[in-house]
């Protein structure tokens, strides 16, 4: 009975690969698929993870960390509308290139999970990036959270509708996304003047 040399990180890595390549993505993640890829029986996975739900949250942490990394990288040295556009484009590109990982970033966190703290931390940092990006618009403090939510909602909504085939007609989706960024830039600019 030779060992496969698994670990919590190795199992999570396999899950990350699977959610981006499997047809059913994050929602269709299954321990059977992970075990098959690892060359191991299903119950063996429980030596490294507590449950499927916990594995899903581990994948979520990877996704959120990558999202934070990209968001930061895309907006260093840019400000105002340009930064907002860059952030939006990067988010859409991430969701397009890693649909499963992006979907994972939407899971609800769970307390009494080993990764709960790390997850809350990276989620906070991600919001901080958005706040920094919006700083260039000169928003009043009490308007800032509204602007952050409008930004997240708009981009996330677009990305999700696009991913789930919600846009019936195949009119140029790239152009529509640029229009969304126009709407956001103009709208938040207006929000700053009220």
Partner DNA sequence: GCCATTAAGCTAATACTATTAGCCAAAGCC
Partner DNA sequence: GGCTTTGGCTAATAGTATTAGCTTAATGGC
Please give the residue ranges that form the binding site for DNA (CB under 7 A).
Answer: 1-7, 29-33, 40-44, 46-48, 51-53
Chosen from DNA, a copy of itself, none, partner binding at 145 (C-beta under 5 to 8 Å by type): a copy of itself
Is 26 or 74 the residue whose CB approaches a copy of itself more closely? Answer: 26
Is 52 or 144 the residue whose CB approaches DNA more closely? Answer: 52
Phi then psi for residue 137, to 5 deg, are -90, -5
Smallest separation (angstroms) from a copy of itself to the CB of 107: 8
Is 17 or 54 the residue whose CB approaches a copy of itself more closely? Answer: 54
Q: How far apart are the first and last CA of the chain?
A: 70
Q: Which residue has the tokens 């959610």?
A: 19
Smallest separation (angstroms) from a copy of itself to the CB of 112: 16
Q: Which stretch binds a copy of itself (CB under 8 A): 28-36, 63-71, 72-80, 179-187?
A: 179-187
DSSP state string for 44-98: GGGGT-S-HHHHHHHHHHHHHHHHHHHHHHHHTT--HHHHHHHHHHHHHHHHHH-
What is the dihedral sign for C-alpha 109, 111, 115, 118?
Answer: positive
Helix (H) or strand (E) holding 123: helix 116-135
Chosen from a copy of itself, DNA, none, partner binding at 32 (C-beta under 5 to 8 Å by type): DNA
Is position 28 an interface residue for a copy of itself (rule: CB under 8 A)? no
Chosen from a copy of itself, DNA, none, partner binding at 106 (C-beta under 5 to 8 Å by type): a copy of itself
Buried b (16+ CB within 10 A) or exposed e, 106-119: ebebeeebebeebb
CB neighbours of residue 39 within 10 Å: 9
Q: Which residue has the tokens 């979907």?
A: 103
Chosen from a copy of itself, DNA, none, partner binding at 168 (C-beta under 5 to 8 Å by type): a copy of itself
With vertex at residue 103, the alpha carbon angle to CA 100 and CA 104, rounded to the nearest 5 degrees, is: 85
Q: Would you say 27 and 103 are in contact if contact means Cβ atoms under 8 Å apart?
A: yes
Contacts (CB under 8 A) with a copy of itself, residues 98-157: 106, 108, 123-124, 127, 143, 145-147, 149-150, 152-157
List of residues contacting a copy of itself (CB under 8 A): 27, 106, 108, 123-124, 127, 143, 145-147, 149-150, 152-158, 160-161, 164-169, 171, 173, 175-176, 179-180, 182-191, 194
């Amino acid at each position: 009975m030779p060992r496969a040399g698994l670990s919590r990180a190795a199992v999570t890595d396999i899950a990350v690969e699977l959610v981006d390549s499997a047809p059913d993505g994050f929602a269709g993640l299954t321990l059977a698929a992970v075990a098959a890829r690892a060359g191991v029986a299903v119950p063996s996975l429980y030596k490294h993870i507590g449950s499927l739900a916990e594995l899903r949250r581990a994948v979520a942490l990877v996704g959120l960390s990558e999202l934070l990394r990209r968001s930061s990288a895309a907006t260093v040295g840019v400000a105002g509308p340009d930064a907002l556009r860059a952030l939006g484009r990067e988010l859409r590109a991430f969701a397009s290139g890693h649909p499963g990982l992006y979907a994972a970033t939407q899971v609800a966190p769970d307390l009494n999970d080993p990764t709960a703290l790390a997850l809350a931390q990276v989620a906070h940092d991600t919001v901080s990036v958005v706040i920094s990006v919006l700083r260039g618009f000169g928003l009043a403090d009490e308007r800032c959270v509204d602007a952050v939510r409008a930004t997240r909602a708009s981009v996330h909504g677009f990305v999700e509708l696009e991913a789930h085939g919600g846009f019936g007609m195949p009119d140029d989706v790239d152009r529509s996304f640029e229009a969304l960024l126009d709407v956001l830039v103009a709208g938040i600019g207006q929000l700053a003047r009220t």
